[in-house]
Structures are given as C-alpha cells and as structure tokens.
Amino acid sequence: MPDASFVFAQSLSGLTAAMFLFLIASGLSLIFGVLRVLNFAHGAFYMLGAYLAYQSMLWLGPGPGLFWIAALGAALGVALLGGVVERVLFRYLYGKEELYQLLFTYALGLILSDVAKIFWGTQQKSVSRPPELAGSFSLFGATIPQYNLFIIVLGPSIALAFWFVLQRTRAGRFIRAAALDRETLGALGVNVDALYTWVFMLASFLGGLGGALISPMRATTPGMDTEVIVEAFVVVVIGGLGSLWGTFLGAVVYGQVLSFGILFFPRFSIFAVFALMAAVLIVRPWGFLGRPLR
C-alpha cells in the first residue's frame, strides 16, 4: 500500500490537471450549451492563449506581476479573436447539420494552428513560472508547487463565478434563455446575435486563459491544440454536455482517474480514462449531470 503523503501528492496533481481541463472544457461546454455547435477549434484558442502569453512575456520581460498581465492580456486577445470569428464565420453555422459544423470548426482549428506556425515557427517556446509562485512547499510529506495550488484554487473560483453569473444576473438569465429557446428570446426584444457573440467571446476567453496559465508548466508547441481538445471532449462527455457543474465534476473525475490509474495500471493510465468514458456512455449516455436528449 502506498504511503499517505504519496496519495495526497497524487490527488493534488490530479486536481491540478483537472482544473486546467475544466477551464478549457467549460468554454467548450458553454458554446455547445448555448450556440449548439461543437467547437473543435477551441483547442486552437487554447494554443493561441499560450503563444500570446509567451509573446507578451517577450515584450514585457521578466519581473514581478508581469506574468499575470501577460496571461490576462493573452486571454483578452483570444476573446477578441473569438468575437471576430463568431461575427464573421460562426454566424453561418447555427442550425446547420452537425457534420458541416464539425468539418468547419475542425478546418478552422487547422487554419489557426498553421497561422500560429507562421508567427512563432515550429520551435518550442517556454514561459517561466511567475516569480511570486515559483517556489514550492511541503505538506504532509509531499512537495506542492505554489503554482499548482493557485490553479487548484482558481478552478472552483471560476466555476463559482460562472455559476453566479448564469444564475443570478440578468445577462445569465438571457444566456440560459438563449440555450432553451432562441426565437422566443429574440421575439421578446433581446439582441440574440450580440448575446451569441458575447457568449463566444467568454468561451474563447476561458480557453485562452487556460492556455496562458498552462504555459509555465508545459512547452508551448504546435500540436498542443489537438492534444487538449480530445481530453476536453472526454471531460465534457462524461460530465454532461452543456452542464457547468457536470463539466467541473467530469474534470475532477478525469484528473483523479488519470493520477491513480498509473498506480494500478502503470502502463495503461490512458486506458483507464477511456474505459471510464465508455462506461459512462453505456450507463448514462447524457453524462453525470447532463439531461437526456429528447
């Protein structure tokens, strides 16, 4: 039996991975919930977030506090791009067949990743951890990087803020209404087109933020977009498409299964995750907290 400090460290690393995935998957889930489009290009927004954070750090240079400005700027940049993409391109996809949507968003993702390659080349880029959180501390015999702890706190904070906006604000009511019945909402005098753009920008912001915040932990390279989109999809599917807390729960379960999977099946931890997804799809095809489709 592994000792307690190892189990503790392992669950925390699973939680860190989960919170990153939640950031990315929540945007994916939001776009599907409201706009009814499965956005395969979401991974590219995440990648652009990482590259923009890298670029901003180049401009800003090292220094206390600057990473946060870079990360926020990168996320805002990605949100802006998302807004343009929604206005100019996505607009024509609503209500179309899923196959067209899939092909379109997939193609968009490929184009965006090639654009990134034109700007930043194929060489790996690396962002340093912000000096404020560069250290680590010991807890119950486990070494915990401060940055990981920040991510673990950030995830639920964003989920709560999200929940608050959706449930308690006027804009949130509109978003929920748009998810249920777009036409009626429009007939009641709400500018649904603008609402869609805002929702898309918010989702892109979350994807971009995920990419920017992950850049101190991973190498920023071409191809990081396709890796993450598969994981985010698994999370959204097991959590329940379009459900905020479902996505959160899905991410947490995914992270823990991955972390502890390597204990029991050292060479099949990936298998454990996909076995979980298959099991969920068989037993509860609509996911943990999703609603069955009519």
* 60, 102, 217, 272: residue in contact with other proteins (rule CB under 8 A): 217
Distance in Å, CB of 218 to other proteins, minimum? 4
In terms of DSSP H, where are the helices of the chain?
A: 4-35, 42-60, 66-88, 98-120, 146-168, 170-180, 182-187, 192-214, 224-239, 244-264, 269-283
Nearer to other proteins, 65 or 131 (CB): 131
- Cα dist from 91 to 36, 138, 171, 215, 256, whole Å: 12, 50, 20, 31, 38
Binding mask 60-89 for other proteins (x = CB under 8 A): ------------------------------
- Cα dist from 148 to 9, 15, 152, whole Å: 11, 9, 6
Dist CA 27 CA 159 (whole Å): 11
Examine residue 218 and tell whether it contacts other proteins (CB under 8 A): yes
Distance in Å, CB of 198 to other proteins, minimum? 31
Which residues in the 248-267 window bind other proteins by CB under 8 A?
A: 258-260, 262-263, 266-267
Mark the segment that binds other proteins (CB under 8 A) among 136-144, 168-176, 235-243, 244-252: 136-144
* 39, 56, 221, 243: residue in contact with other proteins (rule CB under 8 A): 221
* 77, 155, 216, 239: residue in contact with other proteins (rule CB under 8 A): 216
* 106, 177, 227, 284: residue in contact with other proteins (rule CB under 8 A): 227
CA-based torsion, 78, 92, 192, 236: positive or negative: negative
Residue with structure tokens 């099991």? 279
Whether the Cβ atoms of residue 166 and residue 176 lie closer than 8 Å to each other = yes
Distance in Å, CB of 182 to other proteins, minimum? 37
Q: Which residues pair with 144 in a beta bridge?
A: 137
Examine residue 222 and tell whether it contacts other proteins (CB under 8 A): yes
Dist CA 22 CA 152 (whole Å): 11
Interacting residues toward other proteins by CB under 8 A: 2-3, 5-6, 9-10, 13-14, 16-17, 117, 122-126, 128-129, 136, 142-143, 145, 147-148, 216-219, 221-224, 227-228, 258-260, 262-263, 266-267, 269-270
